Amino acid sequence: MSAFVDAQSGGFSINLVHRDSEGSPFYNPKEMPARRVGNAGRRSIGRVHRFSSRSISDPSDPDAQLTANNGEYLVNISLGTPPFPIVAIADTGSDIIWTQCKPCTDCYKQDAPLFDPKSSSSYRTVSCSSNACNSLQSEGSSCSSDGSVCEYQVSYGDQSHTQGDVAAETLTLESKTGNPVALPKTVIGCGHDNAGTFSPKGSGIVGLGGGPASLVSQLGSSIGGKFSYCMVPYAAAKPTSTMNFGTNAVVSGNGVLSTPLISDPSQPTFYFLQLEAVSVGSKKIAFQGSSIGGSGNIIIDSGTTLTLVPTDFFSQLSDAVETQVTGGTKTSDPEGFFSLCYVPDSSLKLPPVTAHFKGADVVLTSDNIFIQVNDKVVCLAFYANDQLSIYGNVAQQNFLIGYDLPKQTLSFKPTDCTNT
């Protein structure tokens, strides 16, 4: 407990690792880059189906290291006493913190050992009458058949699901700036029945959304409602960057731009923004976006690779980019997923692109606009989708992005994330 108290006084940071980097357990050296990027794009579309079709049914401040992984970013945490290591996806598009647990009624194949609650002296199931169980109603909390244990069950539109016991457990983060940060009595999901599109290399998800079950919400006042992250490009030589909490998460200095964070009570998980337009060179394209989210029209999500926009807007954007690109050679995507691709050479020049959020004109670099699918081909990292607009993590790379929940602001600061 003392480590947590010490950490609160100055904030803490943990490592964030890209899924497809050599520092990730998901890294497959035999998988061609085009296949990795194509798979990441397909996962982006799969997440939209989860978001739009998701159904809930019955049944010291820290720093963190963020690791990139096939368009997703990973954090290393530990659960229990003694600490049991878990590799989980850092996801601002979901809330509950969950991992696969013994005994497994029906679990997806996992390469690493499963967490065994019986091996932890700090593991406690949560009763149905507890505040923790009540706070998880949006996660489908219910009561076990004998009425003794709170249970959760979350199903998604792509047929993935997780269900199991709700528990209070010690969650430990390996702070980059000091001793490990132990968070006693963190509410987690201990999944005994999990299946769908989950990778065998991963152990679960750390939800960073706005709902009461997320890590951010559970840290609450201890971090002042502030967190930030800096995402390295997926092809960066250094795969690891930083996620910050508390005072360490304050984004300040030259070049900082801020825009309102917009909440929707009917969808508390998501962080909505108001994107007013996107400029390609001198051509400014108005953005309408999704009809959900109150006055917000796009969500910002760490777990989605591509930026997903309505079909009509995508057509205008793609045409504007294609019209203003000079040099290079237009080509097709080897995987057949992306629609605007080029073979880059020294003559290729891309037009300047600016995302005009309310109060913040964010100038994007070529690495935010195009994604490298192999050594010879780059493709536009936007995709047409009419269900839900999402500002994906390619567009967020090499920006320090700070969330200030009490002030309801999101800040962007251009940053070389490999140096964080």
Structure tokens given for 17: 């690792």
Structure tokens given for 286: 């108005």
Asked if 111 is an active-site residue, the reply is no
CA distance 50 to 6: 39
**DSSP classification of residue 419:** G
User: Is the separation of the CB atoms in 311 and 404 below 8 Å?
Assistant: no
Q: Of the candidates 249, 263, 168, 265, which has an alpha carbon nearest to the alpha carbon of residue 213?
A: 168
CA distance 297 to 260: 12
Asked if 301 is an active-site residue, the reply is yes
| Residue of 91, 95, 165, 333 with catalytic role | 91
In a 3-state reduction of DSSP, which class is residue 131? helix
Helix residue ranges, H only, 215-335: 215-219, 311-324
User: Is the separation of the CB atoms in 363 and 401 below 8 Å?
Assistant: no
Strands 329-331 and 399-404 turn out to be unpaired
Structure tokens given for 164: 């199991």
**DSSP classification of residue 93:** T
In a 3-state reduction of DSSP, which class is residue 325? coil
CA distance 226 to 364: 24
CA distance 106 to 46: 22
Phi then psi dihedrals of residue 153, to 5 deg? -155, 120
Structure tokens given for 325: 């690109």
**DSSP classification of residue 211:** S
Which secondary structure element, helix H or strand E, spans residue 393, and what is its range?
Answer: helix 393-396
| Residue of 61, 63, 301, 367 with catalytic role | 301
CA dihedral 291, 273, 15, 164 (to 10 degrees): -40
Residues catalogued as catalytic: 91, 301
